[in-house]
Structure 1
Amino acid sequence: MQVIGLCRFSWPGEGGFQVEHPDLDARIAYLYSDARMEARLRQFEAIALPGLRAQTDPDFTLLVIIGETLPEKWRDRLLALLEGFPQARVMPMPPGPHRRVMQDAINDARRDPDAACLQFRHDDDDAVAIDFVERLRRAARDCAGLLEGNRLVGFDFNRGLVARAGPQGLAVAETVIPLYGVALGLAARGGVRQTIMNFAHKKLNRFMPVVSFGDSAMFIRGLGQDNDSRQRPGIPEPKLTRPDPATVQLLHDRFRISEVDVRRVFAAR
């Protein structure tokens, strides 16, 4: 079964953000500011890419959606980070309604629209475990009867960590959160054009059956000052601590994330 992931890398669309802007120009200015783009590229390099590159099942496609107006210096930096990662496909897209444009991007990537496929969404500051694609495929096989009886089925791997990265390394906390948006997949029956990007991730179980797995750490949710989901007042701040030796080993074994690499990437100027 084909597996398609989608990552919006600062794509200036209509909707899809919790931070509101008065117009498209204001949104573009916010997304492409130097400080924000530096932070996103560092998170992408140090947190998101290591686990994606090391997937135990490499048979997947990752669509990296960027704006057609992304300045050349940032586009070049992004392309350099993706060298040697054949699963990644950078797709410049014009502004448009968020859900429709993302739906079209995923459906255009389906090799056979009449065959079932697996999909996942991924933010550029998050990580999935190295066996995420393998586990997603296994979940679909194990739930074959459920897939036969439903147009869409969700798969939620809800155990992981939240982490803040910086020049001093990582501060982390373990967590179990349902429908967090990272390590969240969906099976779409052949001929169904709705995609994982058509639904708010926290509300996925309102529209389809969702099977949850909480047996092992499957995600890292990256925390930063420019997180879209953390811009509203009243967002609780998790209690983060420096990783102990067991957590350092888990970060390497499950996500291929190294404290040395994190410090190097975030200390660079």
Structure 2
Amino acid sequence: MEVFFQMRFSYCGKPGGLVRRRGTAARGLTEAEVLRQFEVLERLTLPSLRDQDDPSFRLILLTSARMPQAGKDHLMWLLNHYLPGRSHVEYARPMIPGRVFRRYMQGIGHGEAPVVQTQVLEGDAFGRRFVQKLREHAIESWAATPESGGTFMSFKRGLNLRLERRKPVGLEVITAPVTPFGLSLVARPSGRYNPALINPDGLGVKLPHVSIRTRSLHCMRAVGADDVADLPPVEARILAEAQQEFSVLRAVHAIPTTEDQRLKAPVDVSHVGRLRRSA
């Protein structure tokens, strides 16, 4: 089953059909915002895709047709450096992003064979076993319930990463975030749904949804000072496990840690059975 990552990069499309509709009108990006997007793309997202144990996937990157040529050249250099032969840039005029991705998928000519479409948001990074785990769950989900419109999947747990001056300074485990980790759709490419066209509030209510629960953390998202306050120290065990999945965490960092928290001892309930038998 093929996997397609879909990412909007420096693209101000028309409002509507987005994962959290926060604005009522499209706006342009400032130079500082574009530079930040390039930095996060090069620092987090592309290295995490390059490091995948399962390299069988493609990245579809949607950007503005009006991007300056220097920006287009640098973007192509990054993609050819990190994902040679496994990426495609879709240049488009302002449109609803999800509709652009849907049109692209409908035109790839894969017939009725199901594929996985995974949404990549700004600041997203994926553990080295993400594609492997995603494909396993996608095949299992499609075999169990081959929905005509497809089935959505997301990872229940992930990590928030705080960056300052390109250096990781905070890490936090997050469960059931407002914006799902690794939101994906298992469906035929000719279908009408796309991860960028739905509101997460409808997952599991109006739209079939599988919440993937794993002990390992396969998704990470960069957050800024405007999103969260300073992150609390993370358990040393969690940081060590995350470093096995994300190469960026193995570089020089200033992430505060705390001692591993002991799990509470299980309560002995054997005496309850004895009391019931004697009653």
TM-score by length of 1: 0.80
My pick for the range that moved more, 170-179 or 126-135, is 170-179
Q: How does 1:147-186 map to 2 (within 5 A)?
A: 147-167=145-165, 168-177=167-176, 180-186=179-185
Deviations for 1:26-53, whole angstroms, at most 9, x for unmatched residues?
x12xx1x221112111111112122111
Q: Which residue of 2 aligns with 1:90?
A: 89
Q: Which residue of 1 aligns with 2:130?
A: 132
What's the CA shift for 1:247? Answer: 4.3
Q: Which residue of 2 aligns with 1:234?
A: none
**Does the alignment pair 1:197 with 2:196?**
yes
Q: For residues 80 and 174 of structure 2, what CA distance do their matches in structure 1 show?
A: 32
| Matching residue within 51, 55, 79 for 1:54 | 51
Look up the equivalent residue of 1:134 and give its one-letter code: Q
The question of whether the paired residues in 1 share the 8 Å contact of 2:60 and 2:87 is answered with yes
CA distance change for structure 1 residues 101 and 149 in 2, over 3 Å: closer, same or farther? Answer: closer
Q: How does 1:72-91 map to 2 (within 5 A)?
A: 72-84=69-81, 85=83, 86-91=85-90
| Matching residue within 19, 23, 45 for 1:20 | 23
Q: How does 1:222-241 map to 2 (within 5 A)?
A: 222-224=222-224, 237=228, 239-241=230-232
Look up the equivalent residue of 1:13 and give its one-letter code: G
Give percent identity, aligned residues only: 23
What's the CA shift for 1:239? Answer: 4.8
Deviations for 1:43-84, whole angstroms, at most 9, x for unmatched residues?
111121221111122111110110011123333332222223
Greater share of residues in helix: 1
Q: How does 1:230-269 map to 2 (within 5 A)?
A: 237=228, 239-241=230-232, 245-258=236-249, 260=251
What's the CA shift for 1:238? Answer: 5.3
The question of whether the paired residues in 2 share the 8 Å contact of 1:146 and 1:153 is answered with no
Q: Which residue of 2 aligns with 1:218?
A: 218
My pick for the range that moved more, 147-156 or 62-71, is 147-156
Unaligned 5+ runs, structure 2: 255-279
| Matching residue within 53, 67, 71 for 2:64 | 67
* 2:161 match: secondary structure: strand
Deviations for 1:141-163, whole angstroms, at most 9, x for unmatched residues?
22344332553112221211111
TM-score by length of 2: 0.78
The question of whether the paired residues in 2 share the 8 Å contact of 1:160 and 1:220 is answered with yes
CA distance change for structure 1 residues 262 and 42 in 2, over 3 Å: closer, same or farther? Answer: farther
* 2:138 match: secondary structure: helix
Q: Which residue of 1 aligns with 2:31?
A: 34
| Matching residue within 109, 112, 128 for 2:110 | 112
Q: For residues 70 and 225 of structure 1, what CA distance do their matches in structure 2 show?
A: 28
- The two structures, once aligned, show a CA RMSD in angstroms of 2.6
Unaligned 5+ runs, structure 1: 231-236, 264-269
What's the CA shift for 1:221? Answer: 1.6
Q: Larger C-alpha radius of gyration, 1 or 2?
A: 2
